[in-house]
């Protein structure tokens, strides 16, 4: 009995150790608990994702979040749905660090401003907002690493964006969003920004004051816009810039001043064509 008891104690210790070592974000809730949504783990090193498709009632969505309050997820995905908002508790209780929304309608981002210490990805693709984008609802985010907005109406980036989005943002992509206006110093305080892609919009002007100085940007893509000229100092004090693409604008003659300091260091340089 003594040896059996010792063996049981060892097995119990191992079991408890394994349980304690398991990341809460690697465990899916029971399927019935989160219907009509579902949970999946898409790769070996990924955390689990909560995914909701074709949700048309806010109550159904909120109930799924409430019932799974004992679980955590790495990512939340919403597809082909129409809801009022994303519950802020997904950030505070379920601890999601990435949010993807595809082909869906919302009235507002969140029911209240979430308080988030570390966030990885915000991705919007074909999202229709009943209200204009409320950047102030991101005021509680201490960190966002990557943000991409595609096929979603975003006509301007102004002080509200600058004042509320964390300044440690590393990557921003805006594609086909009818973007036409940039505040004069819109990215100047985003000192960690390394990738900026603003494609297929209506931007007519860019200025050096829009970027930090010095600037850590490694990749700039501002293509299929309506830019007619570039300031002579536009790429000054950008020692890390390696990729530059400004295809499909209305640029005429390019001055040597704009490119002399950066062309020798570039690994990708594309600047041709006209906006159509």
Please list, residue by residue across 230-258, b when 16 or more beta carbons sit within 10 angstroms of its beta carbon and e when fewer do: beeebbbebeebbebbbbbbebeeeeeeb
Model pTM? 0.88
Strands (E), the chain: 38-40, 49-53, 75-79, 98-106, 121-129, 146-150, 156-157, 171-175, 181-182, 195-199, 219-221, 243-245, 268-270
Q: In this structure, is the dihedral angle defined by the CA atoms of residues 146, 76, 40 and 18, taken in order, positive or negative?
A: positive
d(CA 100, CA 35): 19
pLDDT of residue 12 exceeding 70, the answer is: no
| pLDDT tens column, 227-267 | 999 998 999 999 999 999 999 999 887 777 777 778 889 99
pLDDT digits (tens, 9 = 90+) for 98-154: 999 999 999 999 999 999 999 999 999 999 999 888 999 999 999 999 999 999 999
Nearest in space to 104 (alpha carbons), one of 129, 75, 131, 138? 129
């Amino acid at each position: 009995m003594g040896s059996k008891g010792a063996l049981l104690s060892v097995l119990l210790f191992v079991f408890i150790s394994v349980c304690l070592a398991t990341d809460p974000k690697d465990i899916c809730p029971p399927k019935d608990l989160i219907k009509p949504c579902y949970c999946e783990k898409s790769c070996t090193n990924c955390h689990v994702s909560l995914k909701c498709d074709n949700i048309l009632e806010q109550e159904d969505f909120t109930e799924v979040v409430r019932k799974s309050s004992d679980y955590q997820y790495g990512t939340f995905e919403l597809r082909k749905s129409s809801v009022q908002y994303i519950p802020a508790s997904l950030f505070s209780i379920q601890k999601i660090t990435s949010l993807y929304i595809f082909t869906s309608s919302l009235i507002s981002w969140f029911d209240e401003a979430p308080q988030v210490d570390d966030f990885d990805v915000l991705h919007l693709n074909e999202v229709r907002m009943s209200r204009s984008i409320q950047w102030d609802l991101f005021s509680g985010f201490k960190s966002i690493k990557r943000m991409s907005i595609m096929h979603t109406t975003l006509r301007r980036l102004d002080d509200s964006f600058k004042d509320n989005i964390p300044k440690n943002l590393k990557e921003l992509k805006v594609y086909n969003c009818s973007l036409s206006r940039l505040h004069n110093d819109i990215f100047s305080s985003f000192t960690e920004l390394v990738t900026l892609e603003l494609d297929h919009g209506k931007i007519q002007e860019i200025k050096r004051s829009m970027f930090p100085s010095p600037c850590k940007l490694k990749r700039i893509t501002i293509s299929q816009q309506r830019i007619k000229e570039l300031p002579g100092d536009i790429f000054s004090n950008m020692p890390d810039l390696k990729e530059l693409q400004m295809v499909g604008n209305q640029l005429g003659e390019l001055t040597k001043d704009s490119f002399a300091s950066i062309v020798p260091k570039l690994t990708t340089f594309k600047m041709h064509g006209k906006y159509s």
